[in-house]
Amino acid sequence: MLRPQTIQIFLPAGDPRGMRVAEITTRIVRVIEVPRSQLADFLKLPEAQQVGVYFLMGELSEAGLPRAYIGQSGNVGSRLVQHNQSKDFWNRALVVISLTNSLTQTHALFLEWWAIAEATKAGRYSLENGNAGSQPYTPAPLQADCHEIHETAATLLATLGQPIFEPLTNAPTAKGAADLFYCKGSGADGVGEYTAEGFVVLKGSRGRLENVASIQGSSHERFREKLLKEGILALEGGGVVFTRDYLFSSPSMAAVALQGRSANGWFEWKDTSGRTLDEVKRQTVAAPG
C-alpha cells in the first residue's frame, strides 16, 4: 500500500550526477548509487566492506530494455571490483546495505533471490542473471525482515531512477478493474493504460503493418522500424502485434506505433464509453478556486 514517506538523498561530492546516498528517514536501509567512473571513491567508504545486495545497471539490450545484473556479497566493494574487470555493460551500481551493519549472508542470499524473481516478474529490465534459481533456506523471522528490507530498497531504487520492481501498468482500482483505453481503426486494435510515466500499450495489442505515405521516410517510420527490430512488435496475420507491455513517453507515440500514421493520442485512445483520453484525464482537471 502506497503511503507518504520522507526520503533523504545525500550528495557526498555535491554532484547530483555523481554518487548519491538515499535512505528513508525512519528505516535502517541505505542505497548508494555509484557511477562506474567513481568506483574508487566508493571503495574508500566503510559501507564498501559490508554485506549487501547490489544492482548493476547499464546499456539497452537487443529487446530495447535496460540491462541489469543483481548480486550479493559479504564484501560488496570487492565484488564490484571483480565486476569492473569482467562485465562491460554496466555504468552504475546501486548498493543496498544496512545502516546498522546488521545484514547477514542469510539475509543477502534471500534478498538476491527475491529481487531476481520480482524484477523478472515486473519485466522492465533485461536481467543478465538468467533465472532466479531455487529459494535459499531462510528462517521465517529472517524472511519477514527481508521483505521489509526489499520494500524499502525498491522505493529507494525507484526514487533514484531505477524502478526495477515496479510493473508498467497501474494497480487495479478499488472496483477491481484497470482504467483501460482502446485505439481502434486504421488497422489498429490496441489496449492501453495512462500512467504516471506515460502510456502503456498492453501485450497482444494489434496494429497495421504498412505506414501511410505521409510518414514514409520520417522519424515516425524509423520509430516503428525500431520497435520491430527490437522485437517489441512482431509480424502476425498481415499486421503487427505487441509481444509485451510497452511504455511510451506519450499517448500519441503509442497511437503512431499501432496505426502507422501521425496521430493525436489524446483523441485516438477512448474508454469503453467512447470518451477520449483527453476528456477523461485532461478536461476533468480544473484550476483551484
Rg for the chain, CA atoms, rounded: 22
Strand partners, 150: none
Set of cell numbers at residue 207: 496494429
Task: Provide φ and ψ at 203, rounded to 5°.
Answer: -50, 135
Q: 202 vs 50, 60, 210, 242, 246, CA distance in Å?
A: 41, 21, 21, 7, 7
Distance CA 42, CA 250 (A): 37
Set of cell numbers at residue 198: 506515460
Q: What is the pLDDT along the chain (289 residues), one digit of tens a residue?
A: 678 999 999 999 999 999 999 999 999 999 999 999 999 999 999 999 999 999 999 988 777 789 999 999 999 999 999 999 999 999 999 999 999 999 999 999 999 999 999 999 998 999 999 766 789 999 999 999 999 999 999 999 999 999 999 988 865 544 445 689 999 988 899 999 999 889 999 999 999 999 999 999 899 999 999 999 988 999 998 999 999 999 999 999 999 999 999 999 999 999 999 999 999 998 887 667 6
Cβ count within 10 A of residue 287: 4
Are the C-beta atoms of 126 and 66 separated by less than 8 Å?
Answer: yes
Max intra-chain CA distance, the chain:
63
Strand partners, 35: 92
Distance CA 27, CA 100 (A): 10
